[in-house]
Amino acid sequence: MGDVAWELIVVDDDSPDGTAAEVTALRAEGWPVRVIRRVGRRGLASAVVEGALAAEADHVAVIDADMQHDERLLPRMLALMEADEADLVIGSRYLGEGGIGDWDAGRARISRVATRCATLVIGAGVSDPMSGFFAIKRDAFHACVYDLSQQGYKILLDVLTSSPRRLVVVELPYVFRSRQHGESKLDVMVAAELLFLLIEKLSRGFVPPRFVLFCAVGGVGLAAHLLVLGLLSAGGAAFIPAQTASAFAAMTLNFAINNAVTYRAQRLRGARFVVGYAVFCLICSIGGLANIGVADLVLVGSGSWPLAGIAGALMSAVFNFGAASQLVWNGRRRSRRPLVRHG
């Protein structure tokens, strides 16, 4: 970067590869680097937010640590922002001489489909809204930080759709390099998180993406409930025992999927998994009672069975989601001992 003063902030989600120790050692040698170590929290988007908020410079660049992004673009990105020719500069794989490197056909197809979906929200003015390589003025980032969903990996799309003002965007082409370390984050959950981010932005935040996933998991649980109930009925079981067993089977499946997918950043393990399962079953039981109560009130007022059923189901879904988020997967842990002793 020549004579430009810079600082490298590494956000480490408590990785076991010694990242935090390496950065600390470099800082001790006098390099302008520091590490933000997060325990119990995961996710690229939220890591970027914390790193950007910790930065003290007027301009912030986001770049992966796996050497796939072309760091040689950083001086040009800075020059454009310092000249007030851009609020946001994006490293684009789909502009001019840019490229996606040695991606296989399947990954390339998924990336292009995701990019087309993103343009439904932001329009066609940006060629690579899914890029993970960009630079932004700090004041522009701070202006949108409270509206960021911080879910998943597509932080640039989140920024583009959350800014309260129209940003001046410039794109610079670059060729995506082959990964030197680690594994690709591209999987089914990343695609799902993109879908939920698009839902949230299209609904202007009215529909939380995690609530959509929670309800989808509930649909899977309902199918499992009906399947188990049918099997037990075919086996000659009485209705009440069969219904009870089916309900617990559905709650067990819902809890397992939600723990692994919906709340994977707050995933429970060991004893916390067992306690969380018990609390989840209690919440779902209360939600079932709320379902019946609301449905009965709507039925009395409207006389419509479908409307009453929908109202009851919506009530239990909202209650279960809110209560489970706060009581089961709130991600808060009490410290076993004070970190600082006063006096």
- Can you read off the two tokens belonging to residue 238? 């009485």
pTM for this entry = 0.63
Q: What is the pLDDT of residue 277?
A: 94
In the chain, % of residues over pLDDT 70: 85
Q: What is the pLDDT of residue 335?
A: 39
Domain 43-202: which CATH class?
A: alpha beta
Characterize 52-67 residue by residue with b for buried, 16 or more Cβ atoms within 10 angstroms of its Cβ, and e for exposed. beeeeeebbbbbeebe
- pLDDT over threshold 90, residue 230: no
Q: What is the pLDDT of residue 45?
A: 83
Helix (H, G, I), strand (E, B) or coil at 327: helix
Characterize 270-283 residue by residue with b for buried, 16 or more Cβ atoms within 10 angstroms of its Cβ, and e for exposed. eeeeeebbebbbeb
- pLDDT over threshold 60, residue 340: no
Distances (CA, A) of 229 to 174, 245, 250, 287, 291: 56, 8, 10, 20, 20
Helix (H, G, I), strand (E, B) or coil at 62: strand
Task: Choose the weakest-confidence range: 120-134, 248-262, 270-284, 321-335.
Answer: 321-335
CA angle 221/282/308 to nearest 5° reads 60
- pLDDT over threshold 50, residue 328: yes
Whole-angstrom distance, CA of residue 92 vs CA of residue 128: 5
Q: What is the pLDDT of residue 260?
A: 86
Interacting residues of 26 by C-beta distance below 8 A, sequence separation 6+: 33
Whole-angstrom distance, CA of residue 224 vs CA of residue 239: 16
Picking from 64, 45, 47, 264, the residue whose alpha carbon sits closest to that of residue 161 is 45
pLDDT tens for each residue of 126-143: 888 888 899 999 999 999
Interacting residues of 110 by C-beta distance below 8 A, sequence separation 6+: 186, 191
Whole-angstrom distance, CA of residue 329 vs CA of residue 267: 7
Task: Choose the weakest-confidence range: 161-165, 272-276, 296-300.
Answer: 296-300
Q: In the structure, what pLDDT confidence band is assigned to residue 339 with cuts at 50, 70 and 90?
A: very low
- pLDDT over threshold 70, residue 262: yes
pLDDT tens for each residue of 304-317: 877 877 787 788 88
Whole-angstrom distance, CA of residue 47 vs CA of residue 136: 16
Task: Choose the weakest-confidence range: 99-108, 126-135, 184-193, 262-271.
Answer: 184-193
Whole-angstrom distance, CA of residue 232 vs CA of residue 245: 9
Domain ranges of the chain: 43-202, 209-327
Return phi, psi of residue 11, to 5°.
-100, 115
pLDDT tens for each residue of 59-89: 999 998 878 899 999 999 999 999 999 999 9
